[in-house]
Structure 1
Amino acid sequence: MRAIVIKRHGGPEVLAIEERPDPEPAVGYVLIEVKAFGLNHAEIYMRSGAWGEMPEISGIECVGLVRADPTGQFRPGQTVVALVGGMGRSLNGSYAELTLVPATNVVAIETRLSWEELAAIPESYATAWSALIGILQIERGQMLVVRGATSALGQAAVNIAVDEGIRVIGTTRRPLRAGLIEAIGAQAVMIEEPDLPKTLRQQHEEGVDAVLDIVGNSTALGSLTMLRRGGELCLVGFLGGGETLNLQPVFQIPSGRRLSVFASALVLGGSEFPLAEVPFQSFVDKATTGTYRAKPAHVFGFDEISKAHRLMESGDAKGKIVVTVNP
């Protein structure tokens, strides 16, 4: 099979297409013929070496067809989505024509979407839904701030929240992108700047019900001050970098507020966060009808992986980047 491999740690130029042996079917795993995969910021860290040694084939999600499943849970030719479960971290990932994924991290889907449209959904929507509904348990009529709302994960969160009847304030670093967030249903848009938490509290004196922070440790303390008493912050990303968060809870977490974390790549598909809880078919159906504006922002060919990584690293994608395999 053809695979995109990390020859050495570094920039997008270190990604190379080479031949590798086809993975062998194994009990407990599903062999998938990859049709397309979405890119994720985690793969920048994997490629650069920031997270230490990783498998040579990156990629934490994909969509495709079942080639083989020794346990018989999935039938050959069945359309599936697959995500995390060690993909790209402890196992070779989805940047290949074939990938072997734990069965716990594979979900069968029925869809009329194209492969590239389907590939824009799995990881972003599973993470957003799990954080919003599974952890924050935010409810209709409540107010949510999504920090980093123009990212693929941010747009998924806005789509899901708006559909659930939640009032959403989206944030962005760039004023020209405000229209993008409003177009998917955000009630208001605020610009990321140092005084954002203070400005928000001036507009919403009692604070908001929840904050979904995709920017990460650099904004976490400010996000906590946005909350009302009983409100909760959930950290789900690190768009702002992976700097250490030095936290003194008694002095830096306002009394009566909660801080949680959802590390999707480490727990989705496990016993505490089984994929059976995540309504993947509903995501796909709502993307098909246009309830969710979930189309990929950019689509690249397999041979354009370095170009795709450069765009992801630039921060200019304005949504999900998808790569097709043998279209």
Structure 2
Amino acid sequence: MSGRTMRAVVLDGPGPAEALVIRERAIPTPRPGQVLIRVRAFGLNRSELHTRLGLAEGVTFPRVPGIEAVGEVADSPGGEFRAGQKVVTLMGGMGRVFDGGYAEYTCVPARQVISFDSDLPWSVIGAIPEMLQTAHGSLTIGLDIQPGQSLLIRGGTSSVGMAAAILAKRRGLTVLASTRDEAKREALDAIGVDHVLIDDGGLAAAVRRIVPDGVDAALELVGTPTLRDTLRATRVHGTVCFTGMLSNQWTVPDFYPIDYIPRGVRLTSYTGGAADLPGGVLQEFLQAVSDGTATVPIGKVYTLDDIAQAHTDMEESRTSGKLVVTT
């Protein structure tokens, strides 16, 4: 960085990973009610892949992608935060309506900034905000999980899937998690998953061999291609929460609820933002990671110059866990 410029990843329009180009840009000037953050790291999300592929709604180009970032406050003209304070930011239109976290600086509304205290490496902290928000919200708002219950995570080696498994084990649940790749079984064993299932598109029978009446709760992260089977793996009065779309398939054609949803099984969904990640939940999780009682499922860490490779790895699901870029 030189003077009042920064390096930023710019997407001029939908395209391949190579469409993500690093450019010198002016550092944004925050207005009262906004916070300028010196970005130290950011996580990659399927949402940003959807943006790059032209599947996301409401995006204008050129755009700096990125729905989350972690770093330090550079300027807060409204006085909401002090300079140098460690913060995370996520959602709220980042990377879609306004420029996001794929840069050395990002300027965001103060309402979507959360402060924290931690000495963990930025590469670790960068993996957490959106992953934790989505996993925590899915398990609490979406599924209302309770200790002692059984939970199926469909898409278990995704970053949200692994985070959900870690949180669920900390809450005393029995966790079943799926992966399409036998080579990724070890990653799920390592975070304490009780039953790893190899997903060939039909898991309901395998789940019911373990939990004959069906699981109490199921987190659907693959999307509509597997949703019907996930519903059939769930017990009467159990709940399925539709959160993710790893398949990039969002809708159910010719949806006929009485035929599609097994009787007595509840179907919910979850989406959230910064307001759904309480500061106390973030701080408690960071402390648990520092104490060694929780882990952060990081797949790989990149530099800003590696952004095209990082996107390719995400698109092709080459790793288990969260992909993080440091700046």
Give yes or no for contact 1:2–1:19 (8 Å, CA) kept in 2: yes
For the residues of structure 2 that align with 1:243 and 1:129, how far apart are their CA atoms? 22
Give yes or no for contact 1:138–1:210 (8 Å, CA) kept in 2: yes
Which range moves more in the overlay, 73-82 or 15-24? 15-24
> Amino acid of the residue matched to residue 22 of structure 1?
I
* Percent of paired sites with the same residue: 39
Cross-structure match for 1:148: 155
Superposed CA offset, 1:37-80 (max 9, x none): 01011111111212254351000111100011122121110000
Tell me, which stretches of 5 or more residues in structure 1 are unaligned?
Answer: none
Summarize the Cα distance change of 1:269–1:301 in structure 2 as closer, same or farther, 3 Å threshold. closer
Give yes or no for contact 2:115–2:279 (8 Å, CA) kept in 1: no
Q: CA deviation at 1:201?
A: 2.0
> Amino acid of the residue matched to residue 325 of structure 2?
V
Equivalent of residue 256 in structure 2, options 248, 269, 284:
248
- The answer on 1:103 being equivalent to 2:116 is no
- The answer on 1:37 being equivalent to 2:45 is no
Give yes or no for contact 1:126–1:278 (8 Å, CA) kept in 2: no
Q: CA deviation at 1:277?
A: 6.7
Cross-structure match for 1:216: 223
TM-score scaled by length of structure 2: 0.94
Q: CA deviation at 1:252?
A: 1.2
Superposed CA offset, 1:132-171 (max 9, x none): 0222110100000011111111110001000111110011
Superposed CA offset, 1:193-217 (max 9, x none): 1331122223322111000111011
Which range moves more in the overlay, 245-254 or 146-155? 245-254
TM-score scaled by length of structure 1: 0.94
Q: CA deviation at 1:243?
A: 4.4
Give yes or no for contact 2:228–2:261 (8 Å, CA) kept in 1: yes
For the residues of structure 1 that align with 2:279 and 2:83, how far apart are their CA atoms? 24
Cross-structure match for 1:54: 60
State the SS of the aligned residue for 1:20. Answer: strand
State the SS of the aligned residue for 2:39. Answer: strand
Cross-structure match for 1:301: 303
Cross-structure match for 1:320: 322
Q: CA deviation at 1:295?
A: 5.0
For the residues of structure 1 that align with 2:120 and 2:165, how far apart are their CA atoms? 21
Equivalent of residue 276 in structure 1, options 275, 278, 301:
278
State the SS of the aligned residue for 1:310. Answer: helix
Which range moves more in the overlay, 154-163 or 189-198? 189-198
Equivalent of residue 267 in structure 2, options 255, 259, 274:
259
Give yes or no for contact 1:228–1:257 (8 Å, CA) kept in 2: yes
> Amino acid of the residue matched to residue 43 of structure 1?
E
Q: CA deviation at 1:244?
A: 2.2
Give yes or no for contact 2:17–2:312 (8 Å, CA) kept in 1: yes
Cross-structure match for 1:310: 312
Superposed CA offset, 1:243-263 (max 9, x none): 421321112111111111112
For the residues of structure 1 that align with 2:159 and 2:47, how far apart are their CA atoms? 13
Q: CA deviation at 1:299?
A: 0.9
Give yes or no for contact 1:136–1:234 (8 Å, CA) kept in 2: yes
What does 1:152-191 correspond to in 2, within 5 Å?
Answer: 152-191=159-198
Cross-structure match for 1:22: 27
For the residues of structure 2 that align with 1:248 and 1:291, how far apart are their CA atoms? 44
Q: CA deviation at 1:221?
A: 1.0
Q: CA deviation at 1:220?
A: 0.9
Give yes or no for contact 1:197–1:226 (8 Å, CA) kept in 2: yes
For the residues of structure 1 that align with 2:208 and 2:319, how far apart are their CA atoms? 30
State the SS of the aligned residue for 2:10. Answer: strand
How many equivalent pairs are there?
Answer: 319
State the SS of the aligned residue for 1:146. Answer: strand
> Amino acid of the residue matched to residue 108 of structure 2?
V
> Amino acid of the residue matched to residue 71 of structure 1?
G
